[in-house]
Amino acid sequence: MKKRLLTLAVVGVVVIAVGVGCDEPRKEKPWERVTRLRLHYKVSPDWYEVQKDKDGKPVLAMELNVTNTTTESLKQVTMVLHVAGPDGKDRVKMPLTLDTSHLGPGVPGKVSVTVPGVDVRAGEEVVLQMEGQPSKAEMGQYPEYKPGIN
């Protein structure tokens, strides 16, 4: 009986010891870190206009107000550019990568960007949207997810 109680006590101590070791937080994977940090970038357009390149093709030029609300930074952040018609349907939907390397955490800054081939017609709306959790396929199109970038 004593031997059985001793065996149960030893097993109980081992189970408790193993369980205590499991309380450590799981290490964040690189893509999870990038996804978490991306969500801390707040972007709002200051102005935009359609210009023409030397061949007369449209170029969407924008100046954006960008703020990183966390203490870590990303060199690049990709958003989705939408140009929606008066009916609300997207005429243009494409990823747009912003160079955020010059922006410090917590300090608002300006980012200028040009998008060749994009025209905005009368009555259309330009919207930048942060994708909360890009799919694995989309991550391949976003430079910030490439190893060694951020």
pLDDT, tens digit (0-9, with 9 covering 90-100), for 17-62: 555 556 678 899 999 999 999 999 999 989 999 999 999 999 999 9
Does residue 89 sit within a domain?
yes
φ/ψ of residue 18, rounded to 5: -65, -40
Helix (H, G, I), strand (E, B) or coil at 4: helix
The pTM of this model reads 0.77
- Please tell me the distance from the alpha carbon of residue 100 to that of residue 73, in angstroms, as a whole number: 8
Task: Please report the pLDDT score of residue 1 as a whole number.
Answer: 56
pLDDT band for 142, please (50, 70, 90 cuts).
very high
Does residue 10 sit within a domain?
no
Does residue 109 sit within a domain?
yes
Q: How many helices (H) and strands (E) does the chain have?
A: 3, 6
**Cα distance between the two ends of the chain:** 61
Does residue 16 sit within a domain?
no
pLDDT, tens digit (0-9, with 9 covering 90-100), for 78-98: 999 999 999 999 999 999 999
Does residue 33 sit within a domain?
no
Counting the structural domains of the chain, the total is: 1
Residue 2 pLDDT greater than 70, yes or no: no
Q: Which range of residues forms the domain containing residue 48?
A: 42-131
Does residue 148 sit within a domain?
no
